[in-house]
Structure 1
């Protein structure tokens, strides 16, 4: 398998898996081997047309014709280009998914159903944040009830998790030796060797304006007044829309679903929410986001529905000016050579995630300090693109999900320019490619064996596709 084919197959696999865990598409366990075709009137022409049918059977599963169309639609919705994949390629990927899921069951692989149901709650929250209401969501996915939607999503997520666990089992014991890495690299034709983009380290120092006690007390008093108003008959939802600083939850009245077995919210919020009785409203609760007032709406086993109002204490103009000036003074000392950037970060930075590493940012993908310039987040790239090595940026104003305003300075270190793969310098990257190659070969071998051992039937036009595996059993 060439390096290009490894990367192309990995791209299709990752894209389809990422989309399938975020979206809903039809899938069911087959009851018999007779294709059931649904027919309805065409609105435009008045003629009767085939709108769905069984495209394939793989073990205990079916792939519907509509599954392929919906996969294309979901790729477009996720911002991907459908030009990169043919219909046959996507259909082949669906066949593989069903093969994995079928044999996961045969191998007695189990998945955590509580985690799956919690994931469904998270997905529905995200869907509602985009669609607006549950009714609109049900219309989009053609379901007549929330439970019907959850049931279908459960099967989709469960089968997806089974497929993922089966793949993990296939490659779990695969490793590569240094000799295999060397041989893999030597087998790559020189004109096909990968080009690794420019990499660099980025460090930053962050100063966050302090919130005064007076502003904190003001937020507390405001929430206490809201509680009195609501207990006196005012609408909780109206307070959310008018005053809550949790903007994403305003659409649905500040509502969230929490699960005891899957912590998603900060500790103080969770502990308060689970301690309430149904209908009870909490006193103001402080978290890293500000002050919350929480009401428990409903409890269902390990899950509870709540709604809340978030008030962030205001940051005064004096506090903002003081924070900016503090960082200006720190920058002046670094530029003058009175202190190193790393030491200054350890002494004054308000960002715990980076200060103890001298301000170095961790790449969220690779979990090291190296950032490939072409794959860097656009916001970060815009802030450092004009910096020379060891140059300190001007003081920049920024924000994040916790802090509505903060100031930072950045510097760039350890730049490695774009270059063709070098065995010594890029050994770890080449080792990773060699491991992927070995894993793909193991999966291909497993697929070849299991396709022959599994009941597979491809129907209609799908028999004209060219497949990597012997799906047609010729």
Structure 2
């Protein structure tokens, strides 16, 4: 779902890959652990530094050249964010943490084979002791990410600031942007039968009943939801009336009472049920399950016949590609722009060839300008198939940055620089007013930030 965005990454200190790697090193010696630093109410153990190195390595990230001092500096930053989130009254609910934690523990047990191995590694007495420890890790990381987001979201940039940023770049240091193209498409979706729609409605009603009888909405969303943006996080979203979700979704969410589950309802993405978990003034914590009715082979065949007819009219010159997209395309997001695709990474219409999605690149790489592809079978995120036509509407050769032509890219670079400066200024100010203590050999470190307050 485009309007229900973004997957939540793993937010606890140790990943599944890390657990696998730690058991691949059975003979590694454990050194005596101890508190090496404190930031506000948070501490950093010497083992936290070790575990972070192993975690990065398990994820395939090279740690060559990263010193223990630099790693400690990163851990101190995380704890500063979490500490300040509490001061700023950023709320992470215990229910949210517990549900996420229980799901991750289940995955860890499935991967490693035995929760006792995990408990033993962390030198905890039992599962309850480990959960207490794990709970604190998850909560700290959630607070950290929300505080980081708050700092970045408050940074804006004006056109004049973008112009000033560009003028400061020496001519021989101007960035070079790679070859790009603009692409348009026409989508024809098969018509879904009423019987298939009813199957989905009945299943969602069944899931609602299971939750009302004591099952976890979190686990049901992970098992059944077809929304890739929230499935891994139990269907969770924060929602305000300004959030860019489809109207039907927001209307239902804001009509619910806290703790209530909606009846199944339809949007352009399929059918949903929503659980209103918490009301925070004008903000809602919701979970939802999305399921889309499946397409029959007969409906798919009819869609192919329709899109072949559309292509013939374009090739014969009866109608332009843009006109056909506006009249016949079933893709709401691109229909009004004549089928023009938006680059999700830059929010521009241009796609840099070297950074293009491999599937899209393979579909357009051999097309000449204005040539219309043959009907292509395409799969939506919910698994349903559809047909599309695709064409290249414009090409841009590799070139040195130009302010007018590349304004959006330059704006992005300028904004990132301003965000980095804002974070640095924020850190400098908060370190001064926050209790920070560095112990032992780490007092000899040279940190980027003034953690030693010299």
1:402 alignment partner in structure 2: 382
Highest RCO, 1 vs 2 (Cα 8 Å, sep ≥ 6): 2
* Structure 1 segments unaligned to the other structure (5+ residues): 1-17, 27-41
Pair 261,245 (structure 1): closer, same or farther in 2 beyond 3 Å:
closer
SS at match of 2:390: strand
How far residue 323 of structure 1 moved from its aligned partner, in angstroms, is 0.8
SS at match of 2:182: strand
2:168 alignment partner in structure 1: 184
Q: Kindly tell me the number of residue pairs found equivalent between the two proteins.
A: 410
Please give the alpha-carbon distance, in whole angstroms, between the structure 1 residues aligned to 2:169 and 2:347: 24
Please give the alpha-carbon distance, in whole angstroms, between the structure 2 residues aligned to 1:307 and 1:429: 35
How far residue 345 of structure 1 moved from its aligned partner, in angstroms, is 0.6
Counting only pairs closer than 5 Å after superposition, residues 147-186 of structure 1 correspond to structure 2 as 149-166=134-151, 171=155, 177=161, 180-186=164-170
Deviations 1:335-389, CA, capped at 9 Å, x for gaps: 2222111111111111111111111122223222222222222322232222233
2:88 paired residue among 97, 104, 109? 109
Pair 256,379 (structure 1): closer, same or farther in 2 beyond 3 Å:
same
How far residue 473 of structure 1 moved from its aligned partner, in angstroms, is 4.8
SS at match of 1:204: strand
Pair 416,214 (structure 1): closer, same or farther in 2 beyond 3 Å:
same
How far residue 423 of structure 1 moved from its aligned partner, in angstroms, is 3.9
2:368 alignment partner in structure 1: 388
Counting only pairs closer than 5 Å after superposition, residues 207-222 of structure 1 correspond to structure 2 as 207-213=188-194, 216=197, 219=199
2:13 alignment partner in structure 1: 25
Pair 389,467 (structure 1): closer, same or farther in 2 beyond 3 Å:
farther
Residue 79 of structure 2 corresponds to residue 98 of structure 1: yes
TM-score when scaled to structure 1? 0.65
2:20 alignment partner in structure 1: none
1:30 alignment partner in structure 2: none
Pair 320,74 (structure 1): closer, same or farther in 2 beyond 3 Å:
same
Please give the alpha-carbon distance, in whole angstroms, between the structure 2 residues aligned to 1:22 and 1:356: 37
Please give the alpha-carbon distance, in whole angstroms, between the structure 2 residues aligned to 1:307 and 1:181: 43
* Structure 2 segments unaligned to the other structure (5+ residues): 1-5, 15-24
Please give the alpha-carbon distance, in whole angstroms, between the structure 2 residues aligned to 1:163 and 1:358: 38
Provide the aligned C-alpha RMSD in A.
Answer: 5.3
TM-score when scaled to structure 2? 0.68
Counting only pairs closer than 5 Å after superposition, residues 137-156 of structure 1 correspond to structure 2 as 144=128, 149-156=134-141
| 1:21 and 1:160 in contact (8 A); partners too | no
| Larger displacement relative to structure 2 (381-390 or 357-366) | 381-390
Please give the alpha-carbon distance, in whole angstroms, between the structure 2 residues aligned to 1:301 and 1:353: 31
If you compute each CA radius of gyration, which structure gives the higher value, 1 or 2?
Answer: 1
Pair 181,202 (structure 1): closer, same or farther in 2 beyond 3 Å:
same
Please give the alpha-carbon distance, in whole angstroms, between the structure 1 residues aligned to 2:417 and 2:338: 37
| 1:61 and 1:98 in contact (8 A); partners too | yes
Pair 403,288 (structure 1): closer, same or farther in 2 beyond 3 Å:
farther
